[in-house]
A = this chain, B = another copy of it.
């Protein structure tokens, strides 16, 4: 940042001044409980300064300075570590060792934690910290700020938020057409999976045969943190069209005995600052309990999930295969032949072009020809592609962590533009067998085993056979 203009230098000086003023000093260990809280306006200064920074880069700069300049005092940590080690060599009574460890523990608390702690006590303070962490995550994603100090600060914040947004303090709220417009507008705007188009569309999603729940924190009731949409059906849905239809009877009353299955068709975090705080898993569990109370005979629980990244992954594959000539490992010979006939060119090249747009779905023949190979490829993408041993696809990873089974891959399941271009119309069900989720979750997290249905395993096997993997 040496090349910055003078004005920026002024801003940076203002940042440093602010931080030295606002971040409370660490009292000596002995005085830690005898130090009055900093004046309210000391922390409020930080909040208003931060909010006055309109630019993402400026906020990132401030957060970087805070993380790097107001962390742990490494000298103190080393000194207390030495103290602990010495006691290890010259044992004394337990109280002495425990106190030495406590001093060390105290030395390991980064100084900015105290700032966050005091901000949390201000009116709207916790909400501010959620926003601050959202900014931090965005800045990291945009590489506006980097390094181990920032990662550490993110971790500290995440732990604090996890304590505050602990499940005991979350309130499950159901959304209906009687909920405040404010809430429905927020939910409508934050719907990330299947965007809401009109208010009637929204009314449908909170109407008969549908449920919409969210978690709020008990200190801010009515403010959605994470939202789950559920469809109540008589079988596991194989397409989103059946759930989000344009024209449908709004006043229809529910027949309880037609409802045997709950389909989780959308889950959206509305507060990005709460990423990693485990709200989703817990929300699904709570909603399952709620639904079982309302419908004692409801027995089948499954998601109908998007497969973000599939088309991108497939195009990458086609591109690399297009270079290597010779036998395709992605398609069988007869598939190659049929596709080439339809597209009028070499299978990899032409498909690459076709799948880049959504035009291909208009050709019935092509749709028919692609079904088998794309389902096979998709099964492999979900089941076989990994990141550090866990499923690469984030939605798959989420449901597998929760203990769901990879249940069924569905063709022509999302024919919206978004569905066609993002995942070639495919969607997948992750099914929750309630008596097995705990075991599945442990197996996946511990041994990285993915539990999948016959259909999925069979598709995976076909892929492997063909590609000689």
Chain A positions within 8 Å of B, measured between CB atoms, are 34-36, 39, 71-72, 74, 77-78, 81-82, 84-85, 88, 94-95, 97-99, 101-102, 104-105, 108, 120-123, 125-126, 147-149, 151-152, 155, 160, 163-164, 166-169, 171, 177-182, 184-185, 199, 203, 217-219, 401, 438, 441-442, 445-446
**Known contacts A125-B168, A445-B36; is-contact A95 B148 (Cβ 8 Å):** yes
Q: Distance in Å from the Cβ of A159 to the closest Cβ of chain B?
A: 10
What's the dominant secondary structure at chain A's contact region?
A: helix
Q: Which residue on B lies nearest to A206, using beta carbons?
A: B181
**Known contacts A85-B82, A181-B184, A438-B39; is-contact A72 B101 (Cβ 8 Å):** yes
A105–B36 CA distance with the chains assembled, in angstroms = 26
**Known contacts A98-B149, A148-B95; is-contact A168 B120 (Cβ 8 Å):** yes
Q: Which residue on B lies nearest to A98, using beta carbons?
A: B148
Q: Are B85 and A85 in contact (CB under 8 A)?
A: yes
In-complex Cβ contact of A84 among B81, B123, B155, B445 (8 A): B81
In-complex Cβ contact of A122 among B105, B168, B171 (8 A): B168
Q: Distance in Å from the Cβ of A400 to the closest Cβ of chain B?
A: 11
Instruction: List 17 A–B pairs whose Cβ atoms lie within 8 Å, in order of A's numbering.
Output: A35-B445, A35-B446, A36-B441, A36-B442, A36-B446, A77-B104, A78-B85, A81-B84, A94-B148, A95-B147, A101-B108, A105-B108, A121-B167, A177-B180, A178-B181, A180-B180, A199-B199
Q: Are A168 and B72 in contact (CB under 8 A)?
A: no
A441 contact set on B, CB distance < 8 A:
36
Q: Distance in Å from the Cβ of A388 to the closest Cβ of chain B?
A: 9
Q: Are A169 and B36 in contact (CB under 8 A)?
A: no
A441–B81 CA distance with the chains assembled, in angstroms = 34
**Known contacts A81-B85, A152-B102, A218-B169; is-contact A36 B438 (Cβ 8 Å):** yes
Q: Are A168 and B219 in contact (CB under 8 A)?
A: yes
A74 contact set on B, CB distance < 8 A:
88, 97, 101
A160 contact set on B, CB distance < 8 A:
163
In-complex Cβ contact of A180 among B84, B104, B178, B218 (8 A): B178
Q: Which residue on B lies nearest to A93, using beta carbons?
A: B148
The 5 A-B residue pairs with the shortest CB-CB distance, nearest first, are A81-B81, A95-B148, A218-B218, A218-B219, A178-B180
**Known contacts A36-B441, A148-B95, A218-B218; is-contact A168 B84 (Cβ 8 Å):** no
Q: Distance in Å from the Cβ of A101 to the closest Cβ of chain B?
A: 6
Q: Are A219 and B94 in contact (CB under 8 A)?
A: no
In-complex Cβ contact of A126 among B81, B97, B168, B219 (8 A): B168
Q: Distance in Å from the Cβ of A112 to the closest Cβ of chain B?
A: 14
A81–B105 CA distance with the chains assembled, in angstroms = 11
A85 contact set on B, CB distance < 8 A:
78, 81-82, 85
